[in-house]
Amino acid sequence: MDDASLLDAYSRTVVGVAETVLPSVASLAVRTARGGGAGSATVVADGGVLLTSAHVVAGARTAEADFPDGTTVQVDVVGRDTLSDLAVLRARGPVPPPVELGDAARLRVGQLVVALGNPLGLAGSVTAGIVSALGRSLPTTSGRVVDEVIQTDAALNPGNSGGALADGSGRMVGVNTAVAGIGLGLAVPINATTREIIRGLLANGRVRRAWLGIAGARIRLAPQLAARIGSPTGLQVADVIGGSPTDGAGLRRGDVVVALAGRPVRTVTEVQALMVEGAIGVPVEMTVWRNGALVDVIVEPRELQEADRG
């Protein structure tokens, strides 16, 4: 295939994605006590359910969504989750049909992606690029990080946040959330975790998570211990929050966590991934390396509260 044919195929793909997804991507106008803001949002389910970035609607209960076909509708903020930087909105009137949600777990580096949104107030903008990297981490205002973030070189600018990142088949695989630098954009992935977050926000207006109350860092283990547990690294505890479940279980600073619920853990984010709603109030075995020996402690996670996030 010659260069002209390749460019034609590329153009047809991007045009097809734009025609499929763009009608469901709204320009979002937000007003709060601190002033106005703007971003993007995408219809993701029947009944006028839209998905955007949590930081776009921070401090707001309502917003105004403008669609490319001229539809303007008020939307209510159903729930925000700062730990994933996602928020769910519900329209008060008819909106375009939802986009099809894909699975970011199937993305590959180098794959074509298309970003759709409203950068710098320019409604209905489309940019294309590739998946530059997968598995990035994105710090949030809560102090935690979003895992498995998609990095793309599709041009993103202020106002793109909350818009759709789509694959070449027109499936939404990410929520554009940040501009990290020239030629570097980030998007929260659409995956099984995201779908659970959306369901939780729709049902409860918030996402329930379990909490242990430790902070730590990944370290390389001694060869003997690494061979014994089947992992070269572990999570060394740097701090145990007073009154937390791990404090009550007797965890100490300097302990090295090597397994939780029978699963090897190496980072705080791996621990957080196991702290789902179903883990709240359920005793779990934690294996730690302490003073040259493996020690098992029983920890009962409790529900994460705003006061615990500080």
Count how many residues are written for the chain. 310
Would you list the DSSP string of 116-160?
EE-GGG-TTEEEEEEEEEEEEEEE-TTS-EEEEEEEE-S---TT-
Secondary structure letter of residue 222 according to DSSP:
P
Tokens 């106002």, residue located: 159
Q: E strands, 182-292, where?
A: 184-189, 210-211, 214-220, 233-240, 256-260, 263-264, 284-290
- Other C-beta atoms lying within 10 Å of the C-beta of residue 122: 12
Alpha-carbon span 209 to 276, nearest angstrom: 5
Dig out the tokens for 74 from the structure.
Answer: 């008020």
Which SS3 state, helix, strand or coil, does residue 22 take?
Answer: helix
Active site residue 137: no
Q: E strands, 15-85, where?
A: 25-32, 35-45, 49-52, 62-66, 72-81
Residue from 81, 85, 147, 167 carrying the catalytic annotation: 85
Helix (H) or strand (E) segment spanning residue 53: none
Residue of 189, 195, 214 whose CA lies nearest to 272: 214
Residue of 98, 100, 31 whose CA lies nearest to 67: 98
Residue from 55, 81, 147, 244 carrying the catalytic annotation: 55
CB neighbour burial string for 207-244, b if at least 16 within 10 angstroms, e if fewer: bebbbbbbebeeeebeeebeeebeeebbbbbeebeeeb
Residue of 182, 113, 197 whose CA lies nearest to 150: 113
How many CA atoms lie less than 13 Å away from 198 in the CB half-sphere? 21
Residue from 27, 40, 161, 244 carrying the catalytic annotation: 161
Active site residue 85: yes
- Active site amino acids: 55, 85, 161
